[in-house]
Amino acid sequence: MSLDALSARGRAFLGTRHAIMAGAMTWVSERHLVSAISNAGGFGVIACGSMTPDLLDAEIAATRALTDKPFGVNLITLHPAMDDLIAVCARHQVGHVVLAGGLPSGAAIAAIKAFGARLMCFAPTAALAKKLVRSGVDAIVIEGSEAGGHIGPVSLTVLAQEILPVVTDVPVFVAGGIGRGSAIAAFLDMGASGVQLGTRFAASAESVAHPNFKKAFFRASARDAIASVQIDPRLPVIPVRALKNAGSDAFNAKQREVAAAVDRGEIDLATGQLAIEHYWAGALRRAVVEGDVETGSLMAGQSVGMVTREQPVAEIIAELVAEAEAALAPRPVTPAVAA
């Protein structure tokens, strides 16, 4: 089957030429990268992260000034101004909203659906995916532990086998460790409607990430992208995959520091957990914006070993599509040799 045929459902859902969407990366997925991806036939996604409603309002408007193609907005479910952020998306008539970071509330789902946006959510299990679909979610993203940033415990190859055969009512996009078009072809053939990539786009020419950040990607191998370790069971933290550096060791030290403060009764567990999460936000900014690749957080997926140079977004997407088409092309049959 051709690439267009296999990706037809995903392309129709996104409204794009290719069923290739970009992961929402804080400090990276802003107007320039998002518009470049959408203009190249993919689907860019603004990472709202901790933006205020006013900042998100400006970012959507600025992105619209750079592209007339579809793009989405990623919102974190725990954001304290979630209602206001949804209202901003409604005012701009954003066509697709991606909710991440936890199970969305029924109120958030209803508010997004009310202004006509298509809603996408992440699901770590088949049971949760089915629950989200029953709640009105229009598409599911399954992300494997190979991905960069905050990750779950299961690889994409396992998640795809578990979820794709049983979640068929809505499009399912797969993410985590995808760096070649041949992998895109394989997952589409398994039943995925499309794919999500982050690491390759983070190091693209249009990415505003600091040159030092990108160079770290070019030098890295898959084994350099490691998941963080939880030090204290009282302080559960979602693992984060990033390139190993002094910042990785500093995170472990931060966990010990917070645990000690809890032991002394200076802070409670909830405050401690929040302090640990805030570490990543600051460390990521240092790396992406300031270029501090020693103590900053170099969030990257295990596909980083396939990122060897800075390329324009259009070239990356064209390369992925050509590789996928080649992988799906009929192979000549070799005649059997008579004994």
Q: If DSSP states are collapsed to H, E and C, what string results for 241-299?
A: EEECCHHHHHHHHHHHHHHHHHHCCCCCHHHHHHHHHHHHHHHHHHHHCCCCCCCCCEE
Clarify whether residues 195 and 256 are in a common domain: no
- Whether residue 176 has pLDDT greater than 70: yes
Clarify whether residues 127 and 270 are in a common domain: no
- Flag whether 79 is in a domain: yes
Provide the sign of the torsion angle of the four alpha carbons 96, 102, 105, 106, taken in this order. positive
Clarify whether residues 119 and 233 are in a common domain: no
- Whether residue 333 has pLDDT greater than 80: no
- Flag whether 8 is in a domain: yes
* Dihedral angle over CA of 171, 177, 183, 189, nearest 10: -30
pLDDT of residue 337: 66
pLDDT of residue 238: 83
- Flag whether 233 is in a domain: yes
Q: Where are the beta strands (DSSP E) in the chain?
A: 20-22, 44-47, 71-76, 96-100, 118-122, 139-143, 149-150, 172-175, 194-197, 225-227, 240-243, 298-299
- Contact, 22 vs 34, CB < 8 A? yes
pLDDT of residue 37: 98
pLDDT of residue 338: 59
- Whether residue 60 has pLDDT greater than 70: yes
| Average pLDDT for 17-39 | 97
Q: What is the mean pLDDT of the chain?
A: 95
Clarify whether residues 241 and 173 are in a common domain: no
**Amino acid identity for residue 49 in this structure:** G
| Average pLDDT for 180-198 | 98
pTM above 0.85, yes or no: yes
Of 258 and 278, more confident: 258
Clarify whether residues 146 and 252 are in a common domain: no
- Flag whether 57 is in a domain: yes
CA–CA separation, 127 vs 132, rounded Å? 9
| Average pLDDT for 242-251 | 92
- Contact, 149 vs 170, CB < 8 A? no
- With CA atoms as reference, report the closest residue to 60 among 25, 93, 28: 93
CATH at 32: 3.20.20.70
Q: What percent of the chain has pLDDT over 90?
A: 86
CA–CA separation, 23 vs 45, rounded Å? 7
pLDDT 10s digits, 282-302? 899 999 999 999 999 999 999
- Domain of residue 27 covers 3-209+308-328
- Whether residue 22 has pLDDT greater than 60: yes
Clarify whether residues 193 and 265 are in a common domain: no
- Flag whether 138 is in a domain: yes
CA–CA separation, 200 vs 282, rounded Å? 22
Residue at token pair 């979820």:
163
- Flag whether 336 is in a domain: no
| Average pLDDT for 4-29 | 97
Beta bridge partners of 120: 98, 139
**Amino acid identity for residue 108 in this structure:** A
Clarify whether residues 94 and 38 are in a common domain: yes
Clarify whether residues 205 and 226 are in a common domain: no
- Flag whether 337 is in a domain: no
Length of the chain: 339
In eight-state DSSP terms, residue 154 is S
Clarify whether residues 150 and 286 are in a common domain: no
Q: What percent of the chain has pLDDT over 70?
A: 99
Clarify whether residues 191 and 282 are in a common domain: no
Q: How many domains does the chain have?
A: 2
Clarify whether residues 163 and 282 are in a common domain: no
Clarify whether residues 237 and 114 are in a common domain: no
Joined together, the tokens standing for residue 47 give: 């990472």
Joined together, the tokens standing for residue 161 give: 């086998």
- Flag whether 334 is in a domain: no
Given pLDDT bands bounded at 50, 70 and 90, which one contains residue 339?
low
